A and B are shown apart, each in its own frame.
Chain A
């Protein structure tokens, strides 16, 4: 348990710190950086506690089930590889925090800066100690997002925003590929648990899906690690504050791709495909980055391309699929983290003190800032791979491995190209140091301002450079056990015998190394003519290509949208209906073509035929006369009436009651709406369009009618109705099975439906409430009554009659509600009847009179209705039953006698309240808007006269 708690604290600490900093964003810079440093330091301490058992061969891990159905567990584990990376993340993180504290100016948003930095640190830590690949993906995405925030920290700078967006697009896009690859990997391996996957490398490599998942995972790694041709985001990410660049380039972000390659090495490496792709991509990147770095002028740009080159070397080493090469990669990860962070911080110091990062304007700074010069020169020497520094050893190891692999069947090709890359590395490293700190100052002004900063700023890079030096002087003592353990963790096998030392005797690697150093010196010497040649050659700009492809996609997507998504409802509906008709035709052919089934038919009565004729005639009238809107409403209500009668005839009394009351409110609604809409608009459709739509309509009608006929003439399949019928009385306590289904068996459905209805009511309120302003308000005020009105606004007979009817109607509603569980009725129907009772008051006595006497708010009714229904459902938990389980009992009252109370009735009250509220809200709001418009128009008219 202690282990579990330690691991959880380790990964949670940065996130807690980020939250704390974000909450204290108004506090001072010292507090922000203090919290961040404390969190990093605390994490390091926890890691130190873990390091002894981890290096001793244990793998502390802990697991909590998160979404077991997906195979996603919160599994954390620290093996030597995770330990090394976590140490880099936290250690360099701590130094970056210290450096950042002094680098940022007091007025800047330090809260946001350190909060984002901690968020990023937490995400990176999560990647390296995640023990479940799905969890790893979660943290992976988080690093993309957090780095977006960090790169775009200076929001006011366009280049920062562009750089952040580009980094997010490239790494986020790669992340998508990675998700696909990892999910495939998990499916092939049969588990998403990392430890299990690492043991099943043989199964994965033998799978036919191996090339696909390999490609997707590599895409994720290469984009993150800025490998060619996805490298271009990294130089643009230097728009970030320098502490961030130091962090992103040395220990985090770009290292995440390398980490994942190393992590999955036992599973993916070893095949010809893997070796071919990874080695060649790494090699290309290494040479490309080194060449470009030689000709850059911005300090951070030089360093960015050097990072690309160095990462290329790491990727190439992992691509070799050789254990000794993996060892070299592990050592170089340490070296690179040390010297690159030191160099970025030095570049930050130079910019901080001189005001420029352009190497062409600087020079001879060793005189003005000797401490910085010493730190940066030593770090650059390590980057160049000069003895006696750490970079020399790892470069030697790399060169030593190259002859073991025949590229394109040529054993000498890889050593040659690797030496070429190393030569350019020496070249740009030497140029960085020589042009910056030695020789004569090129411009007087930056030089005059330059001086060494306070110890706070140089202490962090100094520590890192010391590390880089010691890695060369006492490599075995300092890193030997760690490198050995990590290599074993990477390869999944005992580490090969190795000896880290500066001198291994004269061998091929030493000769190649000497060639590289000599070539690098030559490059420095001949830099001026080479630069001129470079600048004459016009080279493709990756950023412009990236933006061009974005613009291209944007343009064509817009065209596609305009072409398909016309602003015409008519055309959209036509397309939808046509597709549906075609699907139905297609499905009908599959059915075997027999239309009429064998079920015995029911002979129709003459009354039914008359009702049918009425319905057909009314439908025809609606279609034919659809522009005379008032008359159409009468035809529609005829259809509604016939539909209600249909329900009566075919044993559905509840439906008949519902339909008839809905019919009333629907017609009221349409009447109110028509008041404001144009009454008899001119004809719009052309004759040909009418024929086309008519043909489609008839086809659709015939098809649906045919389906209905085919269904009605066949016996139904087995139904769950028998269960409902058998258990309604005994289990639900009601004899009206339809109502019991609604409030008991399928109460969850009903709950969803009343919520939808409530939302529709509130949506209507939102749509109408805001009509008073803007263009709509102007039109409403300009609106003139265009319907003949009765001279008497509220006829006395109607007012009196409606007031007498109100209590009667409400009594009916209550009656319908109470008996609903056993006889036709229930919450839905009662609510509609009650709503009609109140709406009649609005109609007869006017909005103002009724509104003034109303004692309820529709919004509250909807809310209470949903709450009551949900509380009823949740109430069953109190009795240890499942959600929405109902209960009932019989009670006796004097005078009334024995009656039944079911908890489902409480649910029905919720239904009643919501439906009542929603209907009232819709109609009262609509009448209100009409009223308001009429009043505004009247006042306007009086004012005008």
Chain B
């Protein structure tokens, strides 16, 4: 077993899981799928600097050999942006769920408010007119 094999196969497994989940019919699963794909993408970008053990890019007079710092810098911001994207998608799906009463993304018409956890509907709102 080499590190290269472990990392490459892990990336492959994450991508497979991510694609499968992203193709599911509900927003939360799609978010999970995107999260897995993001892990894989970040790992992949990071791995483009090749796997190097024990040579962090912290400059020192005594050291002459380092790993490639550029992919690390790119991936660092990518991780933070991934969070921003995930947060945005989560909120977007939450808002669409609140707006329509459905968390489906399959395009098929579903009766709104017919789901668990949201048994109450606008009809109950009759007496509650607070803003």
Contacts and interface: CB of A to CB of B under 8 A. Distances in A.
A677 B115 CA distance: 10
Contact of A566 (B20, B87, B88, B107): B107
A705 B128 contact: no
A737 B50 contact: no
Given A626-B32, A650-B53, A616 B13 contact: yes
Contact of A738 (B4, B57, B115, B117): B57
Interface centre among A566, A685, A749 (most CB of B within 10 A): A685
Contacts of B90: 669-670, 673
B54 A767 contact: no
Interface string A729-745: 10000111110011000
Contacts of A936: 130
A753 B73 CA distance: 12
A537 B84 CA distance: 69
A725 interface: yes
A493 to B, nearest CB: 63
Contacts of A734: 59
Interface stretch (A45-53, A176-184, A776-784): A776-784
A716 B10 contact: no
B77 A678 contact: no
B72 to A, nearest CB: 5
A602 B36 contact: no
Contacts of B81: 753, 756-757
A609 B1 contact: yes
A639 interface: yes
B117 A786 contact: yes
Query: Which secondary structure dominates where chain A touches chain B?
Result: helix
Given A623-B17, A652-B67, A757 B46 contact: no
A643 B92 contact: no
A632 interface: yes
Contacts of B4: 599, 601-602, 709, 712-713
Nearest to A690: B20
Interface string B34-60: 011001101110111111111111111
A188 to B, nearest CB: 43
Given A704-B44, A708-B12, A749-B77, A764 B91 contact: yes
Interface centre among B43, B91, B107, B121 (most CB of A within 10 A): B91
A466 interface: no
A706 to B, nearest CB: 7
A651 B119 contact: no
A698 B124 CA distance: 46
A720 B70 contact: yes
Interface residues of A, number: 132
A805 interface: no
A721 interface: yes
Contact of A725 (B20, B57, B87, B113): B57
Contact of B73 (A684, A713, A738): A738
Interface centre among B60, B87, B107 (most CB of A within 10 A): B87
A629 interface: yes
Contacts of B107: 566-571
Given A652-B46, A738-B73, A783 B120 contact: yes
Interface string A623-659: 1001101001000100110110011011111110011
B106 A712 contact: no
A701 B83 contact: no
Interface in B9-39: 9-32, 35-36, 39
Sorting the interface of chain B by its residue count into under 10, 10 to 19, 20 to 34 or 35 or more gives 35 or more
Contact of A771 (B66, B95, B121): B95
B53 to A, nearest CB: 6
Contacts of B131: 772-773, 777
Contacts of A609: 1, 6
B70 A782 contact: no
B69 A725 contact: yes
Given A639-B36, A666-B86, A604 B3 contact: yes
Contact of B47 (A573, A629, A706, A708): A708
Nearest to B30: A569
A697 B23 contact: yes
Contact of B56 (A602, A652, A764): A652
Nearest to A745: B73
Interface stretch (A3-11, A133-141, A918-926): A918-926
A831 to B, nearest CB: 9
Contact of B70 (A615, A616, A719, A760): A719
A171 to B, nearest CB: 41
A795 interface: no
B2 A604 contact: yes
Contacts of B95: 767-768, 771, 776
A329 to B, nearest CB: 61
A735 B66 CA distance: 12
Given A655-B46, A655-B79, A712-B47, A774 B99 contact: yes
Nearest to A774: B99
A832 B57 CA distance: 22
A721 B68 contact: yes
A456 interface: no
A573 B23 contact: yes
Given A573-B22, A677-B27, A737 B58 contact: yes
B16 A697 contact: yes
A890 B41 CA distance: 40
B79 A700 contact: no
A869 to B, nearest CB: 13
Contacts of B130: 781, 936, 939
A612 interface: yes
Nearest to B108: A568
A602 B3 contact: yes
Contact of B117 (A662, A678, A713): A678
A551 interface: no
Nearest to A828: B80
A738 B7 contact: no
A778 B124 CA distance: 9
B52 A771 contact: no
B94 A676 contact: yes
Interface centre among A632, A716, A737 (most CB of B within 10 A): A737
A653 B3 CA distance: 18
Contacts of B101: 775, 779
Contacts of B73: 738, 741-742, 746
A940 B57 CA distance: 58
B56 to A, nearest CB: 4
Nearest to A776: B98
Contacts of A636: 32, 35
Contact of A768 (B10, B21, B91): B91
Contacts of B14: 615, 619, 639, 701
Nearest to B25: A684
B111 to A, nearest CB: 13
B122 A622 contact: no
A681 B79 contact: no
A693 interface: yes
Interface centre among B16, B113, B128 (most CB of A within 10 A): B16
Nearest to B84: A760
B51 A757 contact: no
Contacts of B105: 568-570
Nearest to B2: A601
25 contacts: A602-B3, A619-B13, A622-B21, A642-B10, A643-B42, A651-B56, A652-B67, A655-B76, A662-B82, A669-B86, A680-B116, A697-B17, A704-B11, A708-B11, A709-B4, A709-B8, A712-B51, A725-B57, A735-B58, A735-B59, A737-B66, A737-B69, A761-B84, A776-B99, A824-B56
Given A604-B3, A646-B10, 17 more contacts: A569-B106, A569-B107, A639-B14, A646-B7, A681-B103, A685-B24, A693-B20, A693-B23, A698-B16, A700-B16, A704-B15, A709-B9, A712-B51, A715-B50, A756-B81, A760-B84, A761-B87
Interface of B: 1-32, 35-36, 39-40, 42-44, 46-60, 66-70, 72-73, 75-77, 79-88, 90-95, 97-101, 103-108, 113, 115-122, 124-125, 127-128, 130-131
